[in-house]
């Protein structure tokens, strides 16, 4: 048989089908499309059966294996997070207690430092006042001694000035007058001139 445009020619015919020789027999196309099996209703019942079996198996696997593991993992994670939060809260409370203790220690240290500074300042002020009083007393004593010495020196100088004035007056009068005056008269005259 010879296939020509989808028609078969009988064996032994040599002429083309257009000349009328030979018998043409319709032939089935081997490439003709059949209906897609999921849409073919003849296979619907087996497909539905296997769909139910597959869904049931997936449901059982999810229900008995995956979901319990997932639930236990979530529960463990929830417990771990709760424990971590509890630990964080405890650590925060400890940190607050430590911070308060630090603040108290800092305040105590500051007050002690202020007290020590005040005591030191008072002690230094007292020492300074004592040293200042001692220095002032020493200066007053030295000033009194100096004043006594100055007065004694002044008195001694004045006593000598009178003697020098008497001697100078005696020399001047004796040179001018040619006669030496009496010492008592010259003393009286010097005393009257210095008064």
Give the number of other Cβ atoms within 10 Å of residue 22's Cβ. 19
For the chain, strand residue ranges (E) read 2-4, 7-9, 24-26
Whole-structure pTM value: 0.37
Range with lowest mean pLDDT among 4-13, 36-45, 64-73, 127-136: 4-13
Question: What 3-state DSSP class applies to 142?
Answer: helix
Q: How far is Cα 53 from Cα 49, in angstroms, rounded to an integer?
A: 6
- How far lies 98's CA from each of 35, 84, 88, 113, in Å? 81, 20, 15, 22
Say yes or no to pLDDT of 13 above 60: no
Q: Which tens digit of pLDDT belongs to each residue from 92-126?
A: 999 999 999 999 999 999 999 999 999 999 999 99
Q: Which tens digit of pLDDT belongs to each residue from 162-188?
A: 778 778 878 888 888 777 777 777 777
Closest CA to 188 of 154, 172, 165: 165
Q: Kindly provide the b/e burial profile for residues 181-191, where b requires at least 16 CB atoms within 10 angstroms of the residue's own CB.
A: eeeeebeeebe
Position of tokens 């940190």? 95
- Per the DSSP assignment, residues forming a β-bridge with 9 are 2, 24
């Amino acid at each position: 048989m010879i296939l020509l445009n989808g028609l078969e020619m009988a064996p032994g015919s040599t002429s083309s089908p257009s000349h009328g020789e030979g018998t043409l027999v319709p032939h089935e196309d081997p490439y003709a499309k059949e209906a897609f099996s999921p849409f073919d209703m003849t296979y619907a019942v087996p497909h539905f059966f296997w769909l139910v079996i597959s869904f049931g198996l997936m449901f059982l696997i999810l229900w008995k294996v995956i979901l319990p593991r997932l639930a236990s993992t979530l529960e463990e994670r929830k417990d771990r997070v709760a424990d971590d939060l509890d630990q964080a809260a405890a650590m925060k409370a400890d940190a607050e207690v430590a911070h308060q203790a630090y603040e108290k220690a800092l305040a105590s240290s500051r007050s002690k430092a202020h007290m020590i500074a005040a005591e030191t300042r008072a002690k230094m002020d007292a020492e300074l006042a004592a040293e200042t009083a001692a220095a002032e007393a020493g200066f007053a004593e030295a000033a009194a001694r100096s004043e006594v010495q100055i007065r004694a020196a002044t008195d001694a100088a004045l006593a000598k000035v009178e003697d020098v004035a008497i001697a100078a007056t005696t020399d001047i009068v004796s040179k001018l007058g040619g006669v030496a005056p009496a010492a008592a008269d010259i003393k009286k005259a010097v005393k009257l001139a210095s008064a």
